Amino acid sequence: MPRGRNADSAVKERRESILTALRQVPANWLTYEELRQALAERGFTVSPRTLRYDCAALARQGLLCVQRGRVQVNLAAGSDDWGELADRVHSRQRKKLALLKILYNVPGGLTTAQLLAGHPALGGRETLESLLQELAIAGLVSKTEQCWQLGPQAARPVAVSSALAAELYCYLDLLAQIITLPPELMRLKSRLVPLLAFPGRSEWREKMWRAAERIVAHGPGTGGRPENAALVSLLQRAISERCMVRVTYRQGELELAPLGIVYLWEKRHWYLVALPQGGEEPREYRGDRLTDACLLPECYAPPPGFSLPEYLGRRWGISDDGKEYPVQVRFVNTEWNMVALERLQGEISRRWQYRPDCRLYSQGEEMFLEDCISGLNEFAAWVRSYGDAAQVCRPPELVERMCYTARRMLERYHEGEEDA
């Protein structure tokens, strides 16, 4: 274990040095070789492969822009390590949710020692006490004698049917047009939205989805933040008015007929779905590679029958393998992922907007996901994010891919033991 912590610290320090080196030239790009030299001056000797891996990881956090063998700090992300901070905050919130779930299942309460002994995934004593204090300040937990219990402000779970969710949403939506809703009701309204996307939606919900279908959020995950709001706003206008646009993409100019904007949670990137001039099939253009756009006077007619939900329907993320894979994955809450099933249900509720035939069902304390997807690489990455809480049942090629990844990880840890 000590070696693992040291290795993590070295990676973090190296990546912070990458960000520091690039922030010293914020308006310019550096090639990988120039960046390697800058790191060498700071005492970091890295291979080209490791450097590319680090830059790709920082780009996924929204901190860097990577383009044709060169990198630049993402000016839209600001000067803080937002992606890493967001991951830490997100992990802390999950631990709080897990703590509330544990205490809900034990009405008599638990001592700090019992929580530490029974649930090591929550962290050490210092972390656990910090989490409990924050929850206590919010009134979500309270301490009686030596035991921690749910507090007076902790709302007990309430089962909400899809029909009731629809009625509540309609009421709040109507009320919001008359008065300014307090923050608590606005949060409730936003939490009802995932419950509206389910197979067999009523007619008014179909209309609601169709009205918003050209600008959508897609894919699993918890979200990030879109870059370049001014550019997105101009493209939204072009989509609404069906205007052609001229864009600068990867330093080249293109004329496009924009059909929709997709924000992909898992990759923290937004994409423009557009028909290139003279092209017959729509394509996806990654937002961080679009640096400029202007409206053209020409208008366009969308391809006959084009629907953004149908275009995205079989894709798990944004990529398309040209083939559908029938997948089945088993999920269960584990010691190291105590709220996996809660997270799963929230993420799959978004999927039903595109694939109402996607199935999520329970068997005892387990849940099974069955779906037909395209984009096996993105689906595999999503499954891996669940760690030991997920087990792929089919297709065989995905099972083998997960086994290969697991073997490689095991080999690396064994290598670490041999070096220690």
pLDDT at 214: 41
Mean pLDDT of 112-117: 87
pLDDT at 364: 87
CB neighbours of residue 290 within 10 Å = 23
Amino acid found at 418: E
Structure tokens given for 22: 């690039």
Q: Which of 239-243, 289-293, 349-353, 383-387 has the lowest mean pLDDT?
A: 349-353
Mean pLDDT of 226-235: 72
Is 0.85 topped by the overall pTM? no
Structure tokens given for 339: 């709220």
Mean pLDDT of 277-288: 85
DSSP symbol at 322? S
Interval 175-184: pLDDT, tens: 776 677 777 7
Confidence of residue 85 (pLDDT cuts 50, 70, 90): very low
Interval 387-412: pLDDT, tens: 899 999 999 999 999 999 889 888 88
Interval 130-147: pLDDT, tens: 889 888 888 888 998 789
Q: Which of 412, 406, 383 is nearest to 395 (CA)?
A: 383
Q: Which of 366, 255, 273 is nearest to 315 (CA)?
A: 273
pLDDT exceeds cutoff 90 at 246? yes
Helix (H, G, I), strand (E, B) or coil at 326: strand
pLDDT at 157: 61
CB neighbours of residue 308 within 10 Å = 23
DSSP symbol at 88? H
- Selecting from 3.30.70, 1.10.1060, 2.60.40, 2.30.30, what CATH number does the domain 215-303 have? 2.30.30
Concatenated DSSP letters of 122-156: G--HHHHHHHHHHHHHTTSEEEETTEEEE-TT-PP
Domain boundaries, the chain: 2-80, 83-150, 215-303, 325-419
Amino acid found at 214: R
Interval 334-379: pLDDT, tens: 888 888 887 787 777 667 766 778 888 888 889 999 999 998 988 9
Q: What is the mean pLDDT of the chain?
A: 77
Amino acid found at 334: T
> Between 24 and 208, whose confidence is greater?
24
CB 239 within 8 A of CB 195: no
pLDDT at 208: 46
pLDDT at 218: 47
| Separation CA 330–CA 255 (nearest Å) | 45
| Separation CA 352–CA 339 (nearest Å) | 21
DSSP symbol at 277? T
CB 373 within 8 A of CB 314: yes
> Can you list the positions of beta strands (E) in 310-373?
325-332, 359-363, 366-373
* CATH class of the 325-419 domain in this structure: alpha beta
pLDDT at 296: 93
One fold for 2-80 and 215-303: no
**In this structure, CATH architecture of domain 2-80:** Orthogonal Bundle (1.10)
DSSP symbol at 69? T
| Separation CA 51–CA 40 (nearest Å) | 12
pLDDT exceeds cutoff 60 at 281? yes
Helix (H, G, I), strand (E, B) or coil at 246: strand
With b for 16 or more beta-carbon neighbours within 10 A and e for fewer, the 342-362 pattern comes to ebbeebbbbbbbbbeebebee
Instruction: Write the CB contacts of 112 (distance below 8 Å, at least 6 apart in sequence).
Output: 125, 128, 129, 132, 146, 148
CB 151 within 8 A of CB 132: no
Q: For 83-150, CATH number?
A: 1.10.10
Confidence of residue 90 (pLDDT cuts 50, 70, 90): low
Paired sense of beta strands 269-276 and 325-332, if any: unpaired
Mean pLDDT of 212-218: 43
Interval 293-329: pLDDT, tens: 899 999 998 888 888 877 887 888 888 888 899 999 9
| Separation CA 26–CA 43 (nearest Å) | 22
pLDDT exceeds cutoff 70 at 266? no
> Can you list the positions of beta strands (E) in 300-342?
325-332
| Separation CA 102–CA 140 (nearest Å) | 13
183: preceding bond cis by omega (within 30 degrees): no
pLDDT at 207: 46
CB 169 within 8 A of CB 193: yes
